[in-house]
C-alpha cells in the first residue's frame, strides 16, 4: 500500500502511544534506515536510540561500514550512550524484540544485513515505522498500528512528536527515573534531521512545518545558550556541525576523567564517585553529559571484567540527595539476572531487565557508601561465581 498521511490527531496519538508502550514493554531494539543514509535518516535513528537508552533498554543501529564523515559526531554520541552498531556485513541480532524503520520510503531501500528476512518473519516481532515519505513510490514497512507515517518536515521531527507526547506522561518518566527527557543530544539529533532535510528552512512547505521547525530550533538554541557563551543562532549547517563536534569532544573528556576511578574486583568492574569528585566533575561538564557517559562506562566495565559493570555516584555534592547506581551485565555473560540484586538488597526505587538495572537510595540511609558498595560487589561476585 502507498503511504498516506494520518488523517486525525486521535489516530496519530493512538499510534504514538502504541510506540511508547512498545518501548516500555520490550528490551532489545534494532534500528534501521535506508541505503546510503542522509542527515535525516541517521539523525532520526540516533534520536530513537537515545530515547530507548533512557529506559535502560538495549538498542543497536544498523549502518553501512562507511558513514559520511560529516555524521561522525552522531556516532560519537552513540558511543557515549551505550548504543551498539551492526554493519551490513554482520548478521542480524536474532533475539531482537522490536525493529524501527526510519526515514525509508519502501522495503527495497532498506540497508541489507544477513538474516534480515528471517528476523522480519519471526512471530511476535514488532515493526515500527517512522517516515514522512507519502504517496508516489512508497510502501509501508512497519505494522500499521505502529506506523507513524505522515506529513512532516523530516523523520526526525516525528521523533520529536513522540518526545512531546511522552513529556506529559509523568508517571512513566518517574517509573524509569527519566529526569531529563529532552537532553541536549536528543535535541541535537532531532534538529540535525530537520535542518538537513529542510536546508535550514529553505524547503519547508507549510505553516505547520514552520511551527515545529521554530519550536525545536528555539529549544535547541536555549539549551546551547545555557552552556556556551557564543551566539548559538546558527545560520549554516557548518556552524551546527562545529558546535556538535565540540560537544562530542566534551563527552570524550568526561569519559576519560571518570575512568581514572576504575577498579576491577573479581567479576565486577566498578567506579565509585564520591561527593568531592562529583563536585569537580559538575564544574566541568553538564549533568546530561555525566549521566550519558556513566551509562557507557558501566557497559565497558561489564565487558572488561567479563561479568558485571557497576557505576555509583552522588547526584548531589552536598549532604542529602541520592546515591545512584547503574549495573550492566556483559554481553557474553548470561548466567545471572541482575534484578536479583534488587530483591536481595530490598531496593524499592529501581528497576530494569535481567541485563541492566538502575536504582537510587537516599544518601542518609547509607552511613558508609564505600562499605555498602563493597558488600554489593561481594554479593555479586558470590553469585556470579556459582
Helix H or strand E encompassing 127:
strand 126-131
Architecture in CATH for domain 9-241:
Alpha-Beta Complex (3.90)
DSSP-assigned letter for residue 135: S
> What DSSP state is assigned to residue 168?
T
- List the one residue out of 188, 199, 259, 277 whose CA is nearest residue 235: 199
Domain with CATH 3.90.1640.10 in the chain: 9-241
Query: Which residues of the chain are in CATH 3.10.310.30 domains?
Result: 260-384
pLDDT at residue number 44: 95
Burial classification of residue 257, based on how many CB atoms lie within 10 Å of its CB (0-12 exposed, 13-18 middle, 19 or more buried): middle
The Cα-based distances of 232 to 73, 161, 223, 348 in angstroms read 18, 24, 9, 42
Task: pLDDT tens for the chain, 386 residues: list them.
Answer: 789 999 999 999 999 999 999 999 998 899 999 887 888 899 999 999 999 999 988 899 988 777 766 677 788 888 878 788 887 667 777 789 999 999 999 888 888 777 888 888 888 999 999 999 888 778 999 999 999 999 888 899 899 999 999 999 999 998 888 888 888 788 888 888 887 766 656 666 677 778 877 777 777 667 656 655 444 455 555 566 565 556 567 778 899 999 999 999 999 999 999 999 999 999 988 777 788 788 789 888 998 998 999 999 988 765 667 898 989 888 778 778 888 888 888 887 777 667 778 888 888 888 899 999 999 999 999 888 77
The helix/strand/coil state of 120 is: helix
Instruction: Return the CATH fold of 260-384.
Output: Diaminopimelate Epimerase; Chain A, domain 1 (3.10.310)
Q: What is the pLDDT at residue 230?
A: 46
Amino acid at each position: 500500500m502507498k503511504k498516506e498521511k494520518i488523517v486525525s490527531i486521535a489516530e496519530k496519538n493512538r499510534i504514538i502511544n502504541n510506540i511508547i508502550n512498545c518501548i516500555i514493554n520490550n528490551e532489545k531494539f534494532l534500528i534501521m534506515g535506508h541505503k546510503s543514509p542522509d542527515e535525516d535518516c541517521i539523525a532520526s535513528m540516533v534520536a530513537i536510540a537515545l530515547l530507548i537508552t533512557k529506559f535502560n533498554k538495549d538498542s543497536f543501529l544498523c549502518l553501512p561500514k562507511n558513514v559520511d564523515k560529516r555524521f561522525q559526531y552522531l556516532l560519537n554520541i552513540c558511543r557515549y550512550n551505550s548504543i551498539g552498531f551492526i554493519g551490513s556485513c554482520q548478521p542480524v541480532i536474532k533475539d531482537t524484540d522490536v525493529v524501527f524503520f526510519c526515514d525509508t520510503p519502501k522495503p527495497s531501500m532498506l540497508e541489507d544485513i544477513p538474516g534480515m528476512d528471517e528476523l522480519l518473519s519471526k512471530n511476535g516481532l514488532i515493526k515500527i515505522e517512522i517516515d514522512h515519505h507519502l504517496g508516489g513510490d512508497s510502501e509501508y514497512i512497519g505494522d500499521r498500528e505502529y506506523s507513524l507515517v505522515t506529513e512532516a518536515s523530516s523523520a526526525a521531527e516525528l521523533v520529536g512528536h513522540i518526545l512531546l507526547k511522552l513529556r506529559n506522561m509523568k508517571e512513566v518518566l518517574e517509573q524509569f527515573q527519566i529526569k531529563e527527557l529532552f537532553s541536549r543530544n536528543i535535541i541535537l539529533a532531532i534538529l540535525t534531521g530537520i535542518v538537513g532535510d529542510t536546508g535550514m528552512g529553505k524547503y519547508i512547505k507549510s505553516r505547520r512545518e514552520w511551527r515545529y521547525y521554530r519550536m525545536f530550533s528555539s529549544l535547541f538554541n536555549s539549551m546551547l545558550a545555557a552552556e556556551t557563551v557564543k551566539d548559538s543562532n546558527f545560520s549554516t549547517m557548518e556552524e551546527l556541525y562545529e558546535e556538535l563536534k565540540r560537544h562530542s569532544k566534551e563527552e570524550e573528556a568526561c569519559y576519560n576523567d571518570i575512568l581514572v576511578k576504575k577498579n576491577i574486583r573479581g567479576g565486577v568492574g566498578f567506579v565509585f564517585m564520591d561527593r568531592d569528585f562529583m563536585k569537580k566533575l559538575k564544574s566541568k561538564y553538564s549533568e546530561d553529559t555525566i549521566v550519558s557517559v556513566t551509562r557507557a562506562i558501566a557497559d565497558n566495565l561489564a565487558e572488561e571484567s567479563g561479568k558485571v559493570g557497576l557505576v555509583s555516584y552522588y547526584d548531589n555534592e552536598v549532604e542529602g540527595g541520592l546515591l545512584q547506581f547503574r549495573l550492566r551485565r556483559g554481553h557474553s555473560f548470561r548466567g545471572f539476572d541482575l534484578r536479583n540484586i534488587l530483591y536481595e538488597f530490598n531496593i524499592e526505587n529501581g528497576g530494569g531487565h535481567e541485563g541492566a538495572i538502575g536504582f537510587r537510595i537516599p544518601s542518609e540511609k547509607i552511613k558508609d557508601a564505600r562499605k555498602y558498595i563493597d558488600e554489593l560487589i561481594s554479593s555479586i561476585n558470590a553469585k556470579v561465581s556459582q
